[in-house]
Amino acid sequence: MNREEADAPLPKPERRRFLAAAVATGATSILPPASAAPAQNDRTLAAQSVSPPSAQVAAAEAGAVAAGSATSGPFASDFMTDVIKSLDIDYVTANPASSLRGLHESLINYGSDVRPKFLTCTHEEASVAIAHGYFKIAGKPLLVLCHGVVGLQHACMAIYNAWCDRVPVVVISGNDLDASKRPPGVPTLHSVQDGNALVRDFTKWDDTPVSLQHFAQSLVRGFKIATTPPYGPVAISLDTGLQEDLVRDPSGLSIPKFIPTSPPQGDLGAVREAARLLANAERPLIVADRAARTADGMRLVVELAEALQAPVLDQGGRLNMPNTHYLNQNGRNPTLLNQADVIIGLELSDFWGTVNQFIDNGQNGGEGVQESRIKPGTKLISISAVDLNTKSNYQDLQRFQVIDVQMAGDAEATLPSLIEAVNQLIPASRRAAIEARGVALRRTWQETRERNRAAAAIGWNSSPITTARMCAELYQQIRTEDWTLASLDYFQSLWPSRLWAMDQHHRSIGGPGGYGLGYGTAATLGAALANKELGRLTVGIQGDGELMYSPGVLWTAAHYKVPFLTVVHNNRGYHQETMHIQRMSNLRNRVANVEGDLAPVGTRLENPNIDFAKLAQSMGVWASGPIENPNDLAPAIEQAVAVVKAGEPALVDVVSQPR
């Protein structure tokens, strides 16, 4: 049963408006009376093909309307399509359903399924995550359609991911508002008084238009709000009746022009004070998370770092600092934080967690150890547009940290004035010391690279395959291409960030923001969709547990021929949770119960093992694996890359070590 069938109210078929004609013909005509069926043996029944549907059955299935009831428009959802097209939205991602059937029909027929093109998704979580990944490459939001309350409920986690990751997504959910006209049964179950209440705590703005002109103004307003830093998702609850209505007075309708809002900048007085502290610091430190919204943002972070010859710790929400630059000092975090006398945070999602550490070791009555990473007197500076957000229920703002100079503004927009002020305020007497600092950092950068390469070689021929070898073999096959890693590498011990040349902004797009599982493969598809037009290769390393949250993404990739490579980090378990349960067992002096698995009960994906290659192949995706011999890895990845370069998705299932 598909979702459209599931929406049919029960038990009376005449309640379904689009089945009116079929009901008039009489449901008893679908099957002959039992007495009319000739006696047949089992062999005859097995050989008999299914009879074609009668004209009456075909009409019922197609939703034929009664004679004379078809209308010629103009239709309200056609005008809505014009509004959507005015915003230059490339794709609409959706799992189709009845509450948005008016808009769906207009998008593909009146709008010719062009800008936006309709992408059929198998789950609303995937719909939103595709839009999430697409924006981080294309810099443009997509439109997501969600069916009623159930579709929006499915989408919630992915919307929260986008909220935490500061990514704009425009979400329209269908809702049959008028209780006196809506069909009873399932359509009423899927309706709601306040359609946006479910996501209001993690969207920037929402509305429920009650007229066509209201819709036009709301969609353009929402698009402006979503695309103004701090970026974030917006939601519109759209009445089914309004979509399916006729345009009563076209002369009264207009489409507002979209004019982008300039991003907010830090106060100039605060900028100058921050520049003074940085220019006179003995050991300044730059920490960046989502500072580089664009490639220009990366250039500005590099410029600030070079002006100060200051080390940069890139937390990876976006790629802020090339790891090929000697001032990228990732891997030396504790030392640099402890030594710093001035720290500037650029769009940090967790300033408290940056300058403090929490050790979950069961001490202090089970609360663990909390201690500062910085020395007394260290000055803290922050530039973050997130300070302009005012939502409080969900705790994405993290713990409160006292900041000495705090600027509520977009870091990328503020950096030009900060760099100018720093260059003006650096004393001539400090130039030699600043240059010497750079020389020392170049040496430690090289030492860190050598340690990473040596560490990667440990267990090189092991089986299960080490994550270091898995990542190294993958990079060997793509390093001469223009590529993007569209997945978070935290669960692979950061090996791509440690071994690959992350030299351009599009090389890495960060992770899900809210760490909700199910993001990875769908976001990789979204990034690949944007990269396809640029001739760029897209790869993603997905955990086995995460891929199982939304495996239907593979069908969408195959259906639309979206080329990207998925390498499955198949450790056959939820290893993060394995560690948590093992830690609790240790704290309570118990032996963890495994019941035949290789880790505590409830944390493994084995017995039986999941065959991801067969799963992918069943959906039309080229796949190889499960690969257990490390010597088989390079040939499989080489073949997979060739498939992707030919314009198709591919998957390689690697049986690998936990991290």
Nearby residues of 430 by Cβ (< 8 Å), 6 or more positions away: 279, 280
- The predicted pLDDT at position 63 comes to 61
pLDDT tens by residue, 564-575:
999 999 988 888
Distance CA 168, CA 227 (A): 6
Pair of tokens at residue 119: 């992408």
Name the nearest CA neighbour of 523 among 475, 468, 484. Answer: 484
Nearby residues of 22 by Cβ (< 8 Å), 6 or more positions away: 13, 56, 59, 60, 61, 63, 64
Q: What angle do CA 502, 127, 258 make, to 5 degrees?
A: 85
Q: Do 171 and 211 share a structural domain?
A: yes
**Torsion angle, CA of 264/268/271/277, rounded to 10 degrees?**
-170
Q: Do 434 and 403 share a structural domain?
A: yes
The mean per-residue pLDDT over the stretch 507-531 comes to 96
Q: Which of 420, 450, 480 is a domain's end point?
A: 450
Residue 446 pLDDT > 50: yes
CB 242 within 8 A of CB 215: yes
Bigger pLDDT: 372 vs 55? 372
Q: What single-letter amino acid sits at 623? A: A
- The least confident of 17-31, 152-166, 344-358, 453-467 is 17-31
pLDDT tens by residue, 455-485:
999 999 999 999 999 999 999 999 999 999 9
Name the nearest CA neighbour of 644 among 534, 528, 554. Answer: 528
CB 408 within 8 A of CB 381: no
CATH number where 443 lies: 3.40.50.1220
Q: Cα-atom radius of gyration of the chain, to the nearest Å?
A: 28
Q: Do 389 and 369 share a structural domain?
A: yes
Helix (H) or strand (E) segment spanning residue 578: helix 575-587
CB 463 within 8 A of CB 633: no
Q: Do 339 and 192 share a structural domain?
A: no
Q: What single-letter amino acid sits at 393? A: N
**Three state DSSP letters for 31-45:** CCCHHHCCCCCHHHH
Q: What single-letter amino acid sits at 282? A: E
Give a yes or no: residue 586 inside a domain: no
Distance CA 418, CA 415 (A): 5
Residue 22 pLDDT > 50: no
Residue 367 pLDDT > 90: no
pLDDT tens by residue, 106-129:
999 999 999 999 999 999 999 999
CB 87 within 8 A of CB 62: no
Angular region, 622: left φ>0, alpha ψ -120 to 50, beta rest: beta
Q: Do 334 and 293 share a structural domain?
A: yes
Helix 124-138 and helix 520-532: axis angle, to 10°? 40
- The predicted pLDDT at position 498 comes to 96
Q: Which of 195, 225, 252 is a domain's end point?
A: 252
Residue 361 pLDDT > 80: no
Q: Do 338 and 245 share a structural domain?
A: no
State how far Cα 130 lies from the chain centre.
6
Residue 53 pLDDT > 60: yes
Pair of tokens at residue 407: 């600027």
Angular region, 463: left φ>0, alpha ψ -120 to 50, beta rest: beta
Distance CA 532, CA 586 (A): 49
Tell me what percent of the residues of the chain surpass a pLDDT of 90: 75
Give a yes or no: residue 163 inside a domain: yes
Q: Do 418 and 532 share a structural domain?
A: no
Q: Do 462 and 446 share a structural domain?
A: no
Pair of tokens at residue 3: 């979702």
Pair of tokens at residue 561: 């021929």
Q: Do 505 and 533 share a structural domain?
A: yes
CATH number where 143 lies: 3.40.50.970
pLDDT tens by residue, 135-161:
999 999 999 999 989 999 999 999 999
Task: Residue 414: give the domain boundaries.
Answer: 268-450
Distance CA 251, CA 321 (A): 52
- The predicted pLDDT at position 368 comes to 83
**Torsion angle, CA of 121/175/171/122, rounded to 10 degrees?**
-10
Q: Compute φ and ψ for 170, nearest 5 degrees.
A: -100, 115
Give a yes or no: residue 597 inside a domain: no
Q: Compute φ and ψ for 571, nearest 5 degrees.
A: -95, 10
Give a yes or no: residue 173 inside a domain: yes
The mean per-residue pLDDT over the stretch 281-297 comes to 97
- Residue 440 binned pLDDT confidence (cut-offs 50, 70, 90): very high
**Torsion angle, CA of 40/43/49/51, rounded to 10 degrees?**
10
Q: Which of 406, 421, 450 is a domain's end point?
A: 450
Q: Do 291 and 247 share a structural domain?
A: no
Q: Do 515 and 376 share a structural domain?
A: no
- The predicted pLDDT at position 71 comes to 75
Give a yes or no: residue 278 inside a domain: yes
- The predicted pLDDT at position 416 comes to 98
- The predicted pLDDT at position 648 comes to 98
Q: Structurally, how many domains does the chain consist of?
A: 4
Name the nearest CA neighbour of 130 among 562, 525, 554. Answer: 525
Name the nearest CA neighbour of 424 among 278, 580, 590. Answer: 278
Distance CA 37, CA 537 (A): 59
Per-position DSSP letters for 381-448, written without gaps between them: EEE-GGGG----SS-TT-S----SEEE-S-HHHHHHHHHHHHHHHS-GGGHHHHHHHHHHHHHHHHHH
Give a yes or no: residue 67 inside a domain: no
Give a yes or no: residue 539 inside a domain: yes
Count other C-beta atoms under 10 Å from residue 441's C-beta: 21
Give a yes or no: residue 198 inside a domain: yes
pTM: 0.90
- The predicted pLDDT at position 28 comes to 31
Count other C-beta atoms under 10 Å from residue 296's C-beta: 12
pLDDT tens by residue, 645-654:
999 999 999 9
pLDDT tens by residue, 180-201:
988 888 888 888 989 999 999 9
Query: Under DSSP, is residue 338 helix (H, G, I), strand (E, B) or coil?
Result: helix
Give the long-range contacts of residues 547-551, CB within 8 A, separation 24 or more. 547/520, 547/521, 547/612, 548/605, 548/610, 549/125, 549/517, 549/518, 550/122, 550/123, 550/125, 550/126, 550/129, 550/518, 550/521, 550/522, 551/521, 551/615, 551/619
Taking the alpha carbons at both ends of the chain, their separation in whole angstroms is 40
Q: Do 110 and 248 share a structural domain?
A: yes
The alpha helices in 96-199, defined as continuous H runs, are 101-105, 124-138, 148-164, 186-189
Pair of tokens at residue 519: 């993001």
Q: Compute φ and ψ for 175, nearest 5 degrees.
A: -160, 125
